Amino acid sequence: MQNTAAAAVFAAVFIALYVAHSVGDHWVQSSCQAAHKGRPGWPGRLACARHVIGLTLTKGVLLLPVVLVLGLDVSAAGLTLGLGLDAATHYWADRRTTLQKLAQICGKAEFYSLGTPAHEAHPVTAEGTYAPTLGTGAYALDQSWHILWLGITALIIASI
């Protein structure tokens, strides 16, 4: 495959994976999976596994028409390796304690807690009580981690 052809495959695959990630991580994931995937033990592991399976299936379903309609030159090995690595890294981060520990190691513990009661500048209501928000540092670092691996996944799929 020529470099420009591989670059086009990378770009198309990355866009499809990015769209599928957003749909799978927010629309397909159940509230139960979101609430329980970070819990300790088997209940948390199973909730996270169910989420990652649904997410990976969503990525496959959305990637398939892109590959077929555009006639992209991708291999079964590249798809399997790429989506498998993406699933594994997504599971790793979504167990929560793992990503939190990485944030601590990288000096991002304060940012990780941003938007939560653990952060000194957490959002409050007019009465001064905690105001829950989805705009947390943990969420931003989680999504950034996933997008990094989407790029690596697209590169694997485009090059194998």
Q: Helix, strand, coil % (nearest 5) of the chain?
A: 75, 0, 25
Range of the domain at 53: 3-159
Question: Taking 80 as the threshold, does the pLDDT of residue 122 lie above it?
Answer: no
Q: pLDDT per residue over 30-74, tens digit each?
A: 999 999 999 999 999 999 999 999 999 999 999 999 999 999 999
Total domain count for the chain? 1
Write the DSSP string, 69-104: HHT----HHHHHHHHHHHHHHHHHHHTSHHHHHHHH
pLDDT by residue (tens digit) across 64-83? Answer: 999 999 999 999 999 999 99
pLDDT for 143-154, tens place per residue? 999 999 999 999
Q: How far apart are CA 47 and CA 38, in angstroms?
A: 8
In the prediction, which pLDDT does 1 show? 54
Look at residue 133 and tell me whether its pLDDT is greater than 70: no
Distance separating alpha carbons of residues 26 and 74, to the nearest angstrom: 27
Structural tokens at position 147: 């997008």
Mean of per-residue pLDDT scores for the chain: 91
> Model pTM greater than 0.75?
yes
Mean of pLDDT values over 96-108? 93
Whether the predicted pLDDT of 115 surpasses 90? no
d(CA 159, CA 148): 17
